[in-house]
Amino acid sequence: MSLRINDTIPDLTVETDQGTFSLHEFVGDSWAILFSHPKDFTPVCTTEFGAVAQLADEWTKRGTKVIGVSVDGVEEHKKWKGDIEKVAGATAAFPIIADGGLEVSKAFDMLPAEAYMPDGRTPADSATVRSVFIIGPDKKLKLSMTYPMTVGRNFAEVLRALDGLQMSIGNGVATPANWNIGDDVIIPATVSNEDAKTKFGEFTEVLPYLRLTKAPR
């Protein structure tokens, strides 16, 4: 069964190019992003991991750790990082899981439908799809995205989604479409106008159920 939003992620022990540890240990008290790729030394994946490397300062600002995963081995990951850094012009300092046994890929439901049959299929036949999982400090899944192998991810959108989660969780607000840091946020419909004014101050009522206010700081 695949993970659902607000499920606690499995505390798997993983082998990476930076050592062996458990996923819960890796997350610790931080936010974390786990992202899969089909194969090392492939064009789309190299550009994607390069984009993640270029955003290193942005992840740090948001108290967020990033970790990759594929069915390739540790030595392949180490060698591939040279290509990632050449393309990105940035250091790929994040770990990459070597998921040769498909334990992580199956636990997070990262494999395409055909990869689950027949039973004799090997990791070489089971490239993961392009998945992103944003995990909260409570070790629970907050957001997931899945792309096919042929479409590279937009990590600026992943960053925006992370910002939205960090804004909404703990502040009692929601974020509208295309929201970015600095934009107004939505007051939940379950909050009365009186309580909204007490908690948020002034707000704009666009519709009875759509009220906008300045984002909490």
Averaged pLDDT, groups of 10, the chain, 217 residues long? 89 98 98 92 94 98 97 95 97 96 89 54 55 97 90 94 96 97 97 95 96 94
Task: Tell whether 160 is covered by a domain.
Answer: no
The CATH number linked to 53 is 3.40.30.10
Full-prediction pTM beyond 0.75? yes
pLDDT at position 118 is 45
Residues 140 and 177 grouped into a single domain = no
Which of 99, 126, 152 corresponds to the end of one domain?
152
Please return the burial class of 14, using the count of CB atoms within 10 Å of its CB with bins 0-12, 13-18 and 19+: buried
pLDDT given for residue 130 in this prediction: 83
Residue 163 lies inside a defined structural domain of this protein: no
Residue 4 domain flag? no
DSSP H or E run through 97? strand 96-98
- The reported pLDDT for the residue numbered 112 is 65
Same domain, 91 and 182: no
46 and 147 inside one domain: yes
**Catalytic residue flag (residue 45):** yes
Same domain for 144 and 97?
yes
190 and 143 belong to one structural domain: no
State whether 133 and 34 are in the same domain.
yes
Domain end position, chosen among 99, 123, 152: 152
**Residue 38 structural domain:** 13-152
Could you tell me if 82 and 186 lie in one domain?
no
Looking at 23, 45, 52, 69, which residue is catalytic? 45
Is residue 157, in this structure, part of any structural domain at all?
no
pLDDT of residue 128: 62
- Number of domains comprising the chain: 2
- Asked if 200 contacts 206 with a C-beta cutoff of 8 angstroms, the reply is no
Tell me, yes or no, whether 116 and 52 share the same domain.
yes
Assess if residue 185 is contained within a domain: yes
Specify if 7 maps to a domain.
Answer: no
In a domain, 91, yes or no: yes
pLDDT score for 117? 43
175: domain CATH number?
3.30.1020.10
C-alpha to C-alpha distances, 71 to 96, 101, 113, 162, nearest whole angstrom: 10, 7, 16, 26
- Between CA 49 and CA 61 the distance in angstroms is 19
Instruction: Return the pLDDT at 121.
Output: 45
- Are 48 and 135 members of one domain? yes
